[in-house]
Chains A and B, each alone.
Chain A
Amino acid sequence: MLAYIVRRILETIPALLIIITMTFFMCKYAPGGPFDSERATTPEIRKRLEAHYGLDDPVYVQYFRHLGQVLSGDFGPSYKYPSRTVNEIIAESLPNSVELGFYALLTALALGLTTGLIAAMFHNRFLDFAPMAIAMLGICLPTFVLGPLLILFFALQLGWFNVSGWGAASDRVLPALTLGIYYAAYVARLSRAGMLEILSQDFIRTARAKGVSELRILFKHALRGGSLPVVSFLGPAIAGLITGSFVVETIFQIPGLGRYFVTAAFNRDYTMVMGTVIFYASLIILLNLIVDIVVVWLNPKSRFE
């Protein structure tokens, strides 16, 4: 177990280095510099700007300086908003994204696990088929279709919620649903399959033979093993929630990091893009690491592999 954790931690180092290196060189050699946007700059101003940002040094100097800065957690100034650093923008917008992600994850787990458990309990009956059909639909409706549909129905037709914004508490409902439903559907399918597999095993039959009540079997004996697929899905799910938040924050005009990232990508604000990519990537890698370790901890079998 310890060896596994150490190996996984060691594996993240090259991954992080690849990300930092790739983003650096892509930004370096991509066509179109940060300063040739709408306003034409004279060569003199351009020179001074480049000198200011250290862009006139040899590439390897820039690379190692960049590496050093990033490793110490400094992403530099934004090219588009020169008075603000990327760190400031992240610090300001991230809490909104985290809040959105948290509610979405909560929706996914609460809705998904409940549905999955019910479906497994009523295997091959109506309460199994109907939720699973709905879950299939939830998986096939992408966020950018679901979001506008939810707005159309709940905000425009019924008038229950604001169309967009992030002020009132009720503004959290539709974005969290939009982002969370896909994962709820996935979690429902995974937990149903996981529970069904566990419920068919010998130790469950033994428990039944001993006269343990069905509910106790479900929660005490089967849930731990049956929720394993869900836990291992949490890694990719969190990565997906982060990228999904780009769309949801755009649809609902939430001032989160995802929206800044999309705007920066649109404006070719390289430092901002680089900073956010490195930040997101490290976050995803870290969360994946945690999830992997939790999976091993939950599943005694995999400790011996």
Chain B
Amino acid sequence: MEATPTPASHPEPNPKAAPEMAPIQFEEGSSLWKDAWRRLRKNRMAVVGAIILAILGTLCSLSPWISPYEYDATNLALGASPPSGDHWMGTDNLGRDLLTRCLYGGGISLLVGISATAVSLTIGVIYGATSAYIGGKVDSFMMRVVDILYALPFTIFVILLTVMFGRHIVLLFVAIGAVEWLTMARIVRSQTMSIKRMEFIEAALSLGLSKRRILLRHIIPNILGPIIVYATLTVPMVMLLEAFLSFLGLGVQPPMSSWGSLIKDGAEKMEEYPWLLLFPGGLFAMTLISLNFLGDGLRDAMDPRASKD
């Protein structure tokens, strides 16, 4: 079962089919996606968040090419220096350029955030959709499993996983992704269940469409909204978890850096060199705030009923 069709398709049947004789209408019935896009653009905080994220994401992914320094190039003669014209964010005690390291670390943090979210998305969508699709006893068994797993303290398990199987970055996001899928599975299942009961599905069934086609063409595109919203809100959670592990020394290992490990280094030396803490901490907090605003904005845009507040 492929779980992610292109979001460009919007297959919901338009109930108010226009009478044939009407002239060409320039105002097409606005689709779910256009509506959502319009509402999202009106939400100033979400737009600002998206712009900040776009800038940060571009800078982080381009940092190996645009930065004049290597992220692990030391300059012991220079040592720790406060922000200056040469080093906009200063250098750490090994003389490494902090801006370069922040951008590089940001790339790692974002990479972990997005990959782990993708892992959790895939597992969650497949699990939830399967459960709702099969229904009956299998469904209630699968959901009971989710209930039980929900009770487990997952942060502790991620720590356990990184302890047991080494502190490799790929393992890190697989481990995080593998434990973050539960809520996604629940959301997908409940959405699928409610859409399954709608009349247009009944219509599709009576037209003789196969179950697989109904699931892929009619159900999944219609639940994409909540999936996207939840995925956007999962990214900051995952990044937080990664930074948490890196801060404890259980995540990304030196000489690689992530925002979590930079904050850890900064916190150790903040008395003498406070900029080592302030810059990565500030960038990280800014990213989290932007992601949260974007996620909230998306939720309000995708679900008009929830936006009354």
The 5 closest A-B pairs by CB, nearest first: A30-B164, A148-B267, A145-B281, A243-B155, A15-B151
Contacts of B244 in A (CB 8 A): 142, 144, 243, 247
List of A residues within 8 angstroms of B148 by Cβ: 11, 14-15, 18
Cα A156 to Cα B277 in complex, Å, equals: 14
- B152 A144 Cβ-Cβ under 8 A: no
Q: A242 and B151: CB pair below 8 A?
A: no
Name which of A43-51, A68-76, A132-140, A217-225 contacts chain B. A132-140
Which residues of B (261-309) have their CB < 8 Å from a CB of A? 263-264, 266-267, 270-271, 274, 277, 281, 284-285, 288-289, 292, 309
- Residues in B with CB closer than 8 Å to A261 are 159
Interfacial residues of chain B within 151-171, with CB under 8 A of chain A in the complex: 151-153, 155-157, 159-166
**Would you call A85 an interface residue if the criterion is a C-beta within 8 Å of the partner chain's C-beta atoms?**
no
Q: Is the CB of A140 within 8 A of B285?
A: yes
A152 at the interface (CB under 8 A from B): yes
B79 within 8 Å of A (CB atoms): no
Check B231 for interface membership: any CB of A closer than 8 A: no
Q: Let me know if B248 is at the binding interface, CB within 8 A.
A: yes
Enumerate chain B interface residues (CB-CB to A < 8 A). 144, 147-149, 151-153, 155-157, 159-166, 240, 243-244, 247-250, 260, 263-264, 266-267, 270-271, 274, 277, 281, 284-285, 288-289, 292, 309
Let me know if A273 is at the binding interface, CB within 8 A: yes
CB 8 Å contact bits of A264-276 with B (1 = contact, 0 = none): 0110100001000
Q: Nearest Cβ in chain B — how far from A35, in angstroms? A: 16
Q: A142-B243, A148-B266 are in contact. List 16 more A-B contacts (CB 8 A).
A: A14-B148, A19-B152, A30-B163, A30-B165, A136-B289, A142-B288, A144-B263, A145-B284, A148-B267, A239-B155, A243-B155, A246-B248, A247-B244, A273-B160, A281-B153, A285-B152
Return the chain A residue nearest B163 by Cβ: A265
Chain B residues positioned under 8 Å from A265 (CB to CB)? 159-160, 162-163, 248, 250
A9 vs B289: C-alpha distance in the bound complex, in angstroms? 38
A interface list, Cβ under 8 A from B: 11-12, 14-15, 18-19, 22-23, 26-27, 30-31, 136-137, 139-142, 144-145, 147-149, 151-152, 156, 193, 196, 239, 242-243, 246-247, 250-251, 261-262, 265-266, 268, 273, 277, 280-281, 284-285, 288
Q: Would you give the shortest CB distance from B305 to chain A, in whole angstroms?
A: 14
Chain B residues with CB under 8 A of A26:
160-161, 164
A144 engages B151 (CB within 8 Å): no
With a CB–CB cut-off of 8 A, which chain A residues contact B249? 262, 266
| Smallest Cβ-Cβ distance to B267: which chain A residue | A148
User: Are B247 and A247 within 8 A (Cβ)?
Assistant: yes
Q: Are B160 and A152 in contact (CB under 8 A)?
A: no
